[in-house]
Structure 1
Amino acid sequence: MMERFSEWLAEGDLGRYLLEREQAYFDGAVADAFGYHAVQLGLPGHDFLRANRIPLKLVADPDGPAELACLAEALPFASNSLDLVVLPHTLDFTTHPHQVLREVERVLMPEGRVVLTGFNPWSLWGAKRLAAGRYEVPWRGQFLSLPRIKDWLELMELEPDGGSFMAYAPPFSRGDWLHRFAFMEAAGDRWWPLAAGVYGISAVKRMRGLRLITPTWGVAKKAARGLAVAGGNDRHHVARQAQETDPHDPGPA
């Protein structure tokens, strides 16, 4: 199904309209992610990692001309091995979206990042899905709600730290009609962000219980009070320490 969706993005006016906005979102969301290994799960015909500077990047997909053929539900990567994973509608077109996120959490390193997009069911795009039926892409997708995705992310200790809404125009198949509703793009983020056809969200893998260990400076200062200063008046220091230890000793004459 993802292969057909990839073709849909490149073929018609509506697909190209959506692709342009999602490409812009991914370009901004992954630009500052750092590390050594990045993976895009799905849509091998489109490069959503192009703006990232991580040296080792690949696309994984069970179908199509991907560099690695694998299922998103069973990733062939070691645990804690990837720095960045992008999911362009991967959860919309899998029968096990929760398991896919579990796999992503497993393979991400601590502080690694996942960036994903999904269709918003509470939008004009979601309404068309209900009206048109679920026989063609993209309407065959699951259209998982953003609150549900956030709940899954937080359950897996993937902490959302950014996001965006896009594709506010009604899902017309003709470009001239999309152009007529271009004003909705400019006003959407301000007036009706939750009505966008697509959402994007990024999250970071947090390791609960890890904390930075810092010196206990108060204890260190107390311990240092009984130390002689190198090159200083050691005899006077030792005598003073002995006097403080034994109050009946008058000390040196």
Structure 2
Amino acid sequence: MSVQNQQTQVNLHVWKTWQTFWSSTLGQEVLAVETALLKPFLENERGYHLLVIGSCPAASFLETSGIRHTLEWRPALQLAEKESCLIADPAALPLPDDSMDLVILQHSLELFSSPHALLKEAARVTLAKGELVILGFNPVSLWGLARLLPGFMQAEPLRALKKADLISQAKLADWLEFLDLKKEVDHQLFHRPPCNRPGFQQKMRSLDQRLDKKGWPLAGVYVLRIKKRIGSPLRPQPAWKKTGWLPVQPVSSPTRNSLKNR
């Protein structure tokens, strides 16, 4: 089996594991909170292309997006439920530079073994002055503490996250600085304990909403809106050499318009 096929099998296994989490009561509560935040934001977004690389289908918040052409990543062809799914290694996206108006990484940095490579690729394909949105689980929270408990003391959905490498906002800030990305806005969501009981989650919703507005930094989920700076050093500019009286022209490459649906 080739290295590429092995990586595909690993991504497929991890994806299926995360679907167990997202289909649980706890996962559905987290997804509902994130959708409530992302929906109004996406309604006001304008542009040509939107890329979502996540650990679950993004239909819940893409329905009202102002960007009509959306690409959703999937680990394998059998999981591509629509034509606009992107089947590829997230660390080597088959997309041209500066081609996406908006890229959303929904709990995908925890999903892959090379999160820094994924972030670099997401920044590369983002248009200058375009935006990235990163959603992640906060390790410095009740979620991080719950992962340290023995398996029999954890809520069953949390066991799927046991091996996930949760990335702190401080570590992520260093990566953003290295890639010349600027954090514009951050949101702290889901202050409830990671309990999988429906009654408990329902009782805690009102308290959770009050704490969300205060931006308490120990929340379970963080959402970062990031701008790509102009002149980002993600790729070097080639130095064209003069070779006589004929002007040197760069080889043509795919454009943003070539990504549109037929």
What's the offset of the Cα at 1:5?
1.2
The AA in structure 1 aligned to 2:112 is T
* Seq. identity, %: 29
Q: Secondary structure at the match of 1:172?
A: coil
**1:25–1:200 contact (8 Å) kept in structure 2:** no
Matching residue of 2:188 = 165
Q: Secondary structure at the match of 1:179?
A: helix
Q: Hey, what's the Cα distance between the residues in 2 that align with 1:144 and 1:74? A: 21
Structure 1 residues 138 and 95: CA distance shift in structure 2, 3 A: same
Q: Hey, what's the Cα distance between the residues in 1 that align with 2:47 and 2:145? A: 40
Q: Secondary structure at the match of 1:106?
A: helix
What's the offset of the Cα at 1:80?
1.0
TM-score (norm 2): 0.72
Greater shift in the superposed pair: 151-160 or 185-194: 185-194
Task: Confirm or deny that 1:54 pairs with 2:67.
Answer: yes
Instruction: Tell me which of 5, 23, 46 is aligned to 1:34.
Output: 46
What's the offset of the Cα at 1:138?
2.6
The AA in structure 2 aligned to 1:200 is V
Q: Deviations over 1:4-54 (max 9, x none)?
A: 2134212x2111111101112222333333211111113353324333211
Runs of 4+ in structure 1 off by over 6 angstroms are none
Matching residue of 1:230 = none
CA RMSD of aligned residues (A): 2.2
Structure 2, unpaired ranges of 5+: 1-13, 233-262
What's the offset of the Cα at 1:191?
5.7
Structure 1 residues 61 and 132: CA distance shift in structure 2, 3 A: farther
The AA in structure 2 aligned to 1:30 is L
Q: Hey, what's the Cα distance between the residues in 1 that align with 2:40 and 2:183? A: 16
Structure 1 residues 125 and 200: CA distance shift in structure 2, 3 A: same
Q: Hey, what's the Cα distance between the residues in 2 that align with 1:183 and 1:35? A: 35
Matching residue of 2:90 = 72
Structure 1, unpaired ranges of 5+: 210-253
Matching residue of 2:15 = 2
The AA in structure 1 aligned to 2:121 is E
Larger radius of gyration: 1
Aligned length: 208
Structure 1 residues 116 and 132: CA distance shift in structure 2, 3 A: farther
Q: Hey, what's the Cα distance between the residues in 2 that align with 1:138 and 1:24? A: 23
Task: Confirm or deny that 1:189 pairs with 2:212.
Answer: yes
**1:44–1:60 contact (8 Å) kept in structure 2:** no
Q: Hey, what's the Cα distance between the residues in 1 that align with 2:215 and 2:57? A: 32
Matching residue of 2:258 = none
**2:49–2:68 contact (8 Å) kept in structure 1:** yes
Task: Confirm or deny that 1:156 pairs with 2:179.
Answer: yes
Q: List aligned pairs for 1:29-178, cutoff 5 A.
A: 29-47=41-59, 48-63=61-76, 65-66=79-80, 67-132=85-150, 136-178=159-201
Matching residue of 2:260 = none
The AA in structure 1 aligned to 2:230 is M
Q: Hey, what's the Cα distance between the residues in 2 that align with 1:157 and 1:32? A: 25
